[in-house]
Copies of this chain bind each other. A is one copy, B any other.
Amino acid sequence: MESVTDIALETSVFRSVPADRVRPLLEKGSIRKVRRGASIHMQGDAANSLCIVLDGLVKLYRMSPCGGEAVIGVLGRHESFGENAIFPGEVYPTSAECVSETRLIQIDARDLWQVVRQDNELCRALLSASFKAQNALVLELERLKSQTGAQRIAEFLLGLCQTEVGGCTVVLPYDKVLIAARLGMKPESLSRSFRRLAPYGVRVAKTRVAIASVTRLKEFIDEDPSCAWGAKVG
């Protein structure tokens, strides 16, 4: 059985740091169980702890003034959020809510701050993790700007595949309403976009998705949307 600290040590924030230096921090952290649908913190709240997901799923999102919610990310085991809490006086940039029964470890910002001020290696690890998160956001932005909904779904599916070639079957990690929001669309559009992937060998049955050929799906992603219908004709 994997211990709580073992899970937390695998987080991208801590992975590169010698375990002995991180363990005391983790042992001071508090473990929290949160039920599905419950809120962890709201955007704009004073940031007082860094959270690591031990089990379950956490949705990060922002509310627009008119009520729409924009999902920024969905995190699972080994992933962390609220890193900016280490700096005194910061606020959380997003709201966080549990999507399924979740176990977290919360590390008090002041504890972390004390250690980071002294431990250059830990500070660099945080920096490196931050760059990685930034790159992920840049990717997301690129996709949102230059791909159609169907192409973003295809990317999402490929991200779930283990294989590089051939076919595979994946299980959707959360419900379609959330997948739609994550990919920046409405559930109705998601449903229709899934249908468009059918000619490219994608079959959806409830929560299972069968992909006939990973390479074919990759080709679909790289198609210029404006050429797409031309390809179908040819």
Contacts and interface: CB of A to CB of B under 8 A. Distances in A.
Interface in A93-145: 93-94, 116-118, 120, 123-124, 126-128, 130-131, 133-135, 137-138, 140-142, 144-145
A93 B133 CA distance: 12
Interface of A: 62, 64-72, 83-84, 86-87, 90, 93-94, 116-118, 120, 123-124, 126-128, 130-131, 133-135, 137-138, 140-142, 144-147, 184, 221-225, 227
Contacts of A146: 64, 68-70
Given A87-B131, A127-B130, A66 B138 contact: no
Q: Is the interface of A mostly helix, strand, loop or mixed?
A: helix
A166 B83 CA distance: 38
B141 A72 contact: yes
